Amino acid sequence: GENVEQHPSTLSVQEGDSAVIKCTYSDSASNYFPWYKQELGKRPQLIIDIRSNVGEKKDQRIAVTLNKTAKHFSLHITETQPEDSAVYFCAAKDRSGGYQKVTFGTGTKLQVIP
């Protein structure tokens, strides 16, 4: 099955600075990489995703890059704001066993300091 590693586990940035979270995956067959934001006690919310046929995707202050050869992908948040503070999870679509399940990374707790 898929194994997803995520770094760093915690990240503190000053408001307005950029934040970068990195993930690696093990299964070269994975072709879908979503990123989720989870606030305390709430459900994960999809914030951006990227498919294996593109290398970069941007949505306002959020961007994701994918390097298929190296099997790693990153989340970039620019001009961070206090409301960006949350736990972020990367994930990779795993098709082992015939079921398309998503394997999550270990999470990054992002704190944006006003």
- For residue 43, the one-letter residue type is R
Report which of 113, 107, 101 is spatially closest to residue 32, judged by C-alpha positions: 101
Member of 46, 56, 81, 82 binding other proteins (CB under 8 A): 46
Q: How far apart (Å, rounded) are the C-alpha atoms in residues 31 and 15?
A: 33
Applying CB under 8 A, does 12 fall inside the site for other proteins? no
Member of 74, 85, 107, 112 binding other proteins (CB under 8 A): 107
Question: By rule CB under 8 A, what count of residues binds other proteins?
Answer: 25
Q: Can you tell me whether residue 41 is helix, strand or coil? A: coil
Q: How far apart (Å, rounded) are the C-alpha atoms in residues 18 and 9?
A: 16
Report which of 1, 51, 8 is spatially closest to residue 27, judged by C-alpha positions: 1
Member of 51, 61, 67, 79 binding other proteins (CB under 8 A): 51
Applying CB under 8 A, does 62 fall inside the site for other proteins? no
**Among the candidate windows 17-25, 61-69, 73-81, 96-104, which touches other proteins by CB under 8 A?**
96-104
User: Which residues of the shown chain bind other proteins in the complex (CB under 8 A)?
Assistant: 31-32, 34, 41-46, 49, 51, 89, 93, 95, 97, 99-107, 109
